[in-house]
Amino acid sequence: MIETPGGGGRTVRRKKRLPPGVANPIDIHVGNRVRLRRTLLGLSQEKLGDEVGLTFQQIQKYERGANRIGASRLFQFSRILDVSISYFFEELPSEIRSHEGQMNWGLSDEKQAELAPNPMARRETLELFRAYYRIADPAVRARLFDLTKILAKAEN
């Protein structure tokens, strides 16, 4: 917040803006959630673009957070991707929920801590997820799930 003198002896508090060319962290998060859901459904950027009347380049910009997704477009994405609008804001890091956090996260003149890559966004994870749900027999899926947990425990 910036405090400046206002009329009548009052102090006016104004929010600082992000520098030009710095994507808003919330736009980046929402774009990442669009990409995650699109990929989980096996949709290409081109196919999603066709569904909403955009080019795949415009979808790329949304997914990177370079372009902000408006309310009507977010509504379209929620319908096409079969999720609620709140899905796009789930797992929003607490440090970017406040305006001050957005400012700190978006500044480029300070060294920022590396964000841990989301394992759910990796191609390997998505392919495994899709293959798992292609197994028609629920009993086989359950046994594979149990085997995976056992193998994971064995490494610890």
Is 2 inside a domain boundary? Answer: no
Instruction: Say what angle helices 25-40 and 123-134 make with each other, to 10 degrees.
Output: 40
Domain that holds residue 148: 122-156
Q: What is the pLDDT of residues 37-86, one digit of tens each?
A: 998 888 899 999 999 999 999 999 999 999 999 999 999 999 999 999 99
Mean predicted lDDT score pLDDT of the chain: 80
Is 51 inside a domain boundary? Answer: yes
Range 132-152 average pLDDT: 90
Shared domain check, 85 and 38: yes
Shared domain check, 101 and 47: yes
Shared domain check, 100 and 147: no
Shared domain check, 60 and 89: yes
Residue 114 φ then ψ, to 5°: -65, 135
Helix%, strand%, coil% for the chain, nearest 5 = 60, 5, 35
- Confidence at residue 101, expressed as pLDDT on a 0 to 100 scale: 45
Which tokens is 137 given? 């027999």
b/e map 131-152, b = 16+ CB within 10 Å: eeeeeeeeeeeeeeeeeeeeee
**Bridge partner list, 12:** 4
Is 1 inside a domain boundary? Answer: no
| Pair 27, 106: CB distance under 8 Å | no
Is 5 inside a domain boundary? Answer: no
Shared domain check, 97 and 129: no
Q: How far apart are CA 52 and CA 55, in angstroms?
A: 9
Q: How far apart are CA 54 and CA 32, in angstroms?
A: 18
Shared domain check, 67 and 26: yes
Shared domain check, 135 and 77: no
Residue 80's nearest CA partner among 50, 56, 114, 106 is: 50
Shared domain check, 154 and 97: no
Q: How far is Cα of residue 35 from the mean position of the Cα atoms in its chain? A: 7
Q: What CATH number is attached to the domain comprising 65?
A: 1.10.260.40
Is 131 inside a domain boundary? Answer: yes
Shared domain check, 39 and 64: yes
Judged against a pLDDT cut of 80, whether residue 110 lies above it is answered with no
**Quick one: how many helices (H) and strands (E) in the chain?**
7, 2
Total domains in the chain come to 2
Which tokens is 97 given? 């929920």
Is 55 inside a domain boundary? Answer: yes
Q: How far apart are CA 112 and CA 92, in angstroms?
A: 18
- Confidence at residue 126, expressed as pLDDT on a 0 to 100 scale: 79
Is 4 inside a domain boundary? Answer: no
The model's pTM: 0.60
Is 9 inside a domain boundary? Answer: no
- Confidence at residue 102, expressed as pLDDT on a 0 to 100 scale: 45
